[in-house]
Amino acid sequence: MFVVNSLPIAIVFCVLTMLGWGSWANTQKLAGKEKWPFELFYWDYAIGVFLFSLVFAHTLGSFGSAGMPARENLHSADWAFVLPALISGAIFNLSNILLVVGIDAAGMSVAFPVGVGLALVIGTVESYIQTPKGNPVLLFAGVALIVFAMIMSAMAHRRLPHGGAKSPLRGLIFSAIAGCIMGFFYPQLMRSVSPNFNSSPIQPGMLTPYVALMAFGAGVLLSNGLWNTIFMRAGHVTYGAYFRGSAKLHAIGILGGVIWMVALSFNVIASSVAGPAVSYALGQGSTLVAAIWGLLIWREFRSAPQGTSKYVVLMLAGYTSGLVLIGAATQ
């Protein structure tokens, strides 16, 4: 299987994660402009996540001299290590559907800083406790700056007129709940992955990152039958409407899932060098990328009153400074 042994390459992979996680939601915004309900978009998104996990496992996960090929690892895997990856997919799926609701109601520049910011704090702390790798002073100073940026985002959000989004308060609430849940999916996923998989043999029963990602993708798709059906019923959306959607709309949703899963895959591969806590924290810098998309492309603060810009600038500065410190925490 393909592995990374260079710290600079691992950091590049984390930056690619940041770009992917911060950009996939643009596909939802595009689908929303076509009046495509988020529940139907999310079915295609979940399919895209699972499909890419299969492709990744049978390409990079099956070639090279490190570890073991994906199919061989899957046959020797212990259910005790497969289950955490499946559960991780279900946890992420619920949190991400809630985040999608938040984006739909309040926009990317509000939902991401609050939801993903909370997930960054929770996931980074838990990942560091599980695998204490990286400079803790720099790491948690960076996390503190991310929290500051979240507060600035909330203050900027409060100044928005009610017409600036579909339902700003609803979006803020759903985003916060999403962040609290999302923070637990990554440490749960890493429990399945054999430690030091880039330099040591895969431990008996444990998974290579590629097989763990495949199990994660299966957890996302399988759990979607429960989580998304609940939201479909609440929103009075039918499965018949899904099959009446155009090929373009389905392709947009699948593309969103592929973008997100490519980012996660790079992140997990990089974790063997950078450490899970640093790798996850850098990847969740996607909040900065998403906020820039929301501000500059979708112009989600165009109706904000004068004086709001200072909070937006402080939010961006907090995220940028926090990410620099988190990047410097690698060792």
Of the listed ranges 64-78, 80-94, 155-169, the least confidently predicted one is 155-169
What is the predicted pLDDT for the residue at 319? 82
**Quick one: angle between helices 79-106 and 25-33, nearest 10?**
50
DSSP helix/strand/coil, 193: strand
Is the pLDDT reported for residue 203 higher than 90?
A: yes
Higher pLDDT residue, 72 or 307? Answer: 72
Who contacts 159 (Cβ-Cβ below 8 Å, separation ≥6)?
304, 305, 307, 308, 311
Residue 305 has φ and ψ, to the nearest 5°, of -75, 165
Give the model confidence (pLDDT) of 205-263 as tens digits.
Answer: 999 999 999 999 999 999 999 999 999 999 899 999 999 999 999 999 999 999 999 99
Express the helix, strand and coil content of the chain in percent, nearest 5 each: 75, 0, 25
**C-alpha distances in Å from residue 102, one per residue of 192, 217, 233:** 30, 22, 18
* 250 Cβ contact list (under 8 Å, min separation 6): 44
Confidence class of residue 164 from pLDDT cuts 50, 70 and 90? very low
pLDDT of residue 166: 57
**CA torsion angle 53 54 59 60 (round to 10):** 30
- For residue 193, list its beta bridge partners: 207
Distance CA(222)–CA(131), nearest Å, equals 29
State yes or no: pLDDT of 92 exceeds 80. yes
The pLDDT tens digits for 105-138 are 777 667 777 787 788 788 888 888 888 888 899 9
